[in-house]
Amino acid sequence: MGGVVTPRQVRRRYLVLLALRWLPVGLWVPITVLLPLDRGLTLAQAGLAFSLQGFVVLALELPTGGLSDSWGRRPVLLLAGAVALVSMGLVAVAHTFAMFATVAVLQGVFRALDSGPLESWYVDTTLAADPNAKLERGLGAGGAVTGVSIGAGALVTGGIVAWIRLPGIPILVQPILLGLIVQLIGLVAVALLVREPVRAHRRTLLASVREVPGVVADGVRVVRRSKVLLALVAVELCWGFGMVTFEQLMPVRLAELVGGPREAAAITGPAGSAAWLVSALGAALVPLLSARIGVAVTAGVLRIGQGVAVLGMGLLAGPAGVLTGYLAAYLVHGASNPVHSTLLHREVSAAHRSTVLSVNSMISQPASALGLILLTALATATSVSTAIVTGAVVLALAAPLYLPAATAERQTPVTV
């Protein structure tokens, strides 16, 4: 294991790698839409370009999971890091729709490759060091590190845009260059820190690819046979579609109110940082609510609550009103994730858990891509507020889809 002899040492490496993985995301999130707008693209063009990422992830998620199992976690992480470097480097020089579309495709390849192997490496290596290790401690700490890293990155971007001026480098490119440096450090860290236990059996890449259709068919079959799972997966359609409002449209709405993309970028940095902290608060508080009214009912109430929060983001006056709705949406978002996951886990056995979770995750990708296309087009044709209100309605419409899970919960009550 290259000197890693205890689960604590493995956990430290895991947390360092997570921080390096997610800090560049935090740097990029506040300017994802603002940068192409600043370079002359329309909102609809930006939405169409970045929607490609979701379709690429959808197509590659299962094949890249098989690649990680057959080829190994370390080589897949190295490949993912290399693709991330290329995509971020292209962002720095992109000025056309075609170039931003290429960035989105490369980001989709990166996200698909990166989805899972680091966590799998942590579990594999920890259990190799100590078969009785408590994995939940490291995984829980990983969630905290992820949120803090994204929030810190968003805050740094806001500070860079507001106060840093480097000669010859456009303001919105400066966070991208910092992200490139962090990603390069992360790639080197993967090469140095990730050491895999010796595997007794390693499948070939071709064998992994051949298994993908069977994996997909098995997951679809499990979901199709359960009314509860069908409804929960359908929630992801509304959720993925509606998330576009507070992830991509909020900075555009803010830019309308404060004078332009650069002024908005200076605000969205600290706002994004606060949003991730508020999201963590929501996740911490939700067990108090679910213990009183049940997990499924809580999930439904939260979907309505998020719709109301996003509605406020679109209709409340002034930057303060938009930011209030934005933070409320993230508070509910953080609370919604654990209850939705609990309901999914409740309906599947260990034999099908990963497959069903992959199906759930995959559904959100095309829904988000569709939301980007339709809501940005609607914003261009009417107004950003109209598009945000439409997304809010779609988010709230997911609430009744938790009714089958609520019925099942009444028959077999389970707490979070």
The per-residue pLDDT for range 186-244, each reduced to its tens digit, is 999 999 998 876 554 555 556 655 665 665 566 677 778 888 999 998 999 999 999 99
Torsion-angle region of residue 143: left (phi > 0), alpha (psi -120 to 50) or beta? alpha
CB of 264 within 8 A of CB of 258? yes
User: In the predicted model, what is the mean pLDDT of the chain?
Assistant: 82
- Cβ pair 263, 384 in contact under 8 A: no
Mind listing the pLDDT tens digit for each residue in 154-166? 888 888 888 888 8
pLDDT at 26: 86
Alpha-carbon distances of 293 from 39, 345, 396, 404, rounded to whole Å? 49, 19, 19, 15
pLDDT level of residue 130 (50, 70, 90 thresholds): confident
Contact call for residues 353 and 341 (beta carbons, < 8 A): no
The band of 350, judged by pLDDT with boundaries at 50, 70 and 90, is: very low
Per DSSP, helices labelled H in 382-415 are: 384-397, 403-411
pLDDT at 266: 74
CA 169 distance to own-chain centroid: 29
Residue type, 215: V
CA distances from 394 to 215, 261, 299, 306 (A): 30, 27, 15, 10
Label residue 143 by pLDDT band (50, 70, 90): low
Is 40:96 a contact under the CB 8 Å cutoff?
A: no
Q: Would you state the pLDDT for residue 401?
A: 95
pLDDT at residue 215, as a whole number = 57
Q: Report, as an integer, the average pLDDT of 359-374.
A: 82
Residues 329, 235: Cα–Cα separation, whole Å? 16
For residue 415, the model assigns a pLDDT of 42
Q: Which of these ranges, 4-13, 178-187, 205-214, 327-336, has the smallest mean pLDDT?
A: 205-214
pLDDT of residue 414: 46
- Average pLDDT (304-333) is 91
pLDDT at 256 over 70: yes
Q: Is the pLDDT of residue 349 over 70?
A: no
Nearest CA to 340 among 391, 386, 288, 286? 286
Average pLDDT score over residue span 344-359: 62
Is 250 in contact with 29 (CB distance < 8 Å)? no
Distance in angstroms (rounded) separating the CA atoms of residues 183 and 90: 14
Q: Which of 128-142, 157-171, 382-396 has the highest mean pLDDT?
A: 382-396
Q: In the numeric block, which tokens belong to residue 92?
A: 């720095």
What is the maximal distance between C-alpha atoms in the chain?
66
Say if residue 291's pLDDT is above 90.
no
